[in-house]
């Protein structure tokens, strides 16, 4: 697989399918693992870093669940390629920096990605469309078992899996769910919901994870505690919390329709009108307008635009994607013009 092949492929998490996909964009499970007798990546020297890359590449080649993956060494990628992978949620922003002795392993369906020598030697990630946290766990559990047969993971009976950051020690697992919560935002209930989430040892981030703020009414919710709970307990806690948030968002949507249905429909159609006619549009405005159009589609106000098209537009209109499509660097204004053109073409009815 070549990196440019992904341009013509719909990522698993963008398909707009799966349980509760009107509210839940994607479900993700991530496992942090380290190899025993090796320094953590931030302290490993050049020789250790290279040996870790070799060992992990060899192990993944022997795992049946990873047969359809491609190993990309980050030092071989252009800056634009790395940003492209970040935009597709296949690796973190931190991983794209200081790329010596780093790699990312990706499968053809973009369900699985493995960051090598990020904060930990291994960051294994599985993503599913919609509220599908149990299926993501089922897949990653098999991958973890397979890799454990080939690699000696750093593990202590009292502490669990050893990780570079103490908050990941224990199971080394983070489950996260990306939600679209426009009704809770518009009814001004979101602050109360987020405050309650934080008291339950969950954290909320934006569309691109750690260090990003919520935009376009998207919220990524994940567990903070990895130590002292089993994987099953963590998954059950996430599942219970997300179900409550889904119910609250649904109630808020019903309330909006009941009190301000005409106003909401007007806002949705104004947003669609701008997107279908704009000649220049920036990233932030695009995300905000697409959020309203997605809500309108989910509520049946817009009947002829597929949810997957809307989901794809959130990603293909990002800066690196625009430049990969054009196969050249673009100025900010050129990106804004190309973004508007792509949106018009995708939303043409």
Per-residue pLDDT of the chain (349 residues; tens, 9 = 90+): 888 888 888 888 888 889 999 999 999 999 999 999 999 999 999 999 999 999 999 999 999 999 999 999 999 999 999 999 999 999 999 999 888 899 999 999 999 999 999 999 999 999 999 999 999 999 999 999 999 999 999 999 889 999 998 888 899 999 999 999 999 999 999 999 999 998 888 989 876 555 445 567 999 999 988 878 889 999 999 999 999 999 999 999 999 999 889 999 999 999 999 999 999 999 999 999 999 999 999 999 998 898 899 999 999 999 999 999 999 999 999 999 999 999 999 998 6
Residue matched to tokens 């939303």: 347
Rounded to 10 deg, the angle between the 231-277 and 283-298 helix axes is: 100
pTM attached to this predicted model: 0.91
Q: What is the pLDDT of residue 146?
A: 96
Contacts of 129 (CB under 8 A, 6+ apart): 12, 13, 14, 15, 16, 17, 18, 21, 25, 26, 27
Q: What is the pLDDT of residue 3?
A: 85
Q: What is the pLDDT of residue 215?
A: 65
Q: What is the 3-state secondary structure (H, E, C) of 128-160?
A: EECCCHHHHHHHHHHHHHHHHHHCCECEECCCE
Q: What is the DSSP letter of 191?
A: H
Q: How far is CA 202 from CA 25, 62, 176, 329, 344, in A?
A: 18, 36, 10, 39, 38
Contacts of 324 (CB under 8 A, 6+ apart): 4, 7, 80, 81, 84
For the chain, which residues make up each domain, given as ranges? Answer: 3-249
Q: How far is CA 66 from CA 111, 259, 304, in A?
A: 11, 51, 38
Instruction: Encode 130-162: b = buried (16+ Cβ within 10 Å), e = exposed.
Output: bbbbbbbbebbeebbebbeeebebbeeeeebbb
Q: What is the pLDDT of residue 214?
A: 58
Architecture of domain 3-249: 2-Layer Sandwich (3.30)
């Amino acid at each position: 697989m070549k990196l440019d092949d992904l341009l013509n492929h719909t990522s698993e998490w963008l398909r707009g399918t799966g349980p509760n996909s009107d509210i839940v964009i994607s479900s993700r499970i991530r496992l942090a693992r380290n190899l025993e007798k090796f320094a953590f990546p931030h302290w490993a020297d050049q020789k250790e870093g290279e040996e870790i890359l070799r060992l992990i590449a060899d192990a993944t080649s022997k795992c049946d669940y990873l047969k359809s993956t491609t190993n990309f060494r980050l030092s071989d990628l252009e800056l634009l390629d790395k940003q492209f992978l970040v935009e597709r949620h296949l690796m973190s922003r931190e991983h794209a920096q200081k790329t010596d002795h780093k790699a990312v392993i990706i499968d053809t369906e973009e369900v699985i990605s493995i960051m090598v020598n990020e904060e930990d030697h291994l960051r294994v990630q599985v993503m599913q469309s919609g509220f599908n946290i149990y299926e993501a766990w089922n897949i990653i559990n098999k991958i973890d078992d397979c890799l454990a047969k080939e690699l000696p993971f750093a593990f202590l009976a009292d502490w669990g899996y050893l990780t570079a950051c103490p908050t990941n020690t224990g199971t080394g697992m983070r489950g996260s769910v990306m939600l679209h919560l426009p009704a809770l935002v518009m009814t001004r209930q979101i602050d109360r919901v987020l405050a309650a989430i934080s008291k339950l040892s969950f954290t909320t981030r934006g569309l691109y994870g750690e260090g990003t703020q919520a935009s376009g009414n998207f919220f990524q919710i994940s567990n903070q505690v990895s130590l002292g709970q089993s994987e099953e307990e963590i998954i059950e806690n996430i599942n219970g919390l997300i179900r409550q948030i889904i119910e609250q968002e649904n109630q808020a949507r019903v309330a909006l329709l009941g009190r301000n249905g005409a106003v909401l429909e007007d806002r949705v159609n104004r947003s669609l009108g701008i997107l279908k006619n704009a000649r220049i549009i920036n990233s932030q405005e695009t995300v905000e307008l697409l959020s309203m159009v997605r809500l309108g589609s989910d509520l049946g106000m817009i009947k002829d635009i597929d949810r997957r098209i809307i989901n794809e537009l959130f990603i293909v209109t990002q800066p690196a994607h625009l430049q990969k499509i054009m196969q050249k660097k673009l100025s900010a204004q050129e990106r804004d013009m190309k973004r508007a053109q792509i949106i018009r073409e995708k939303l043409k009815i």
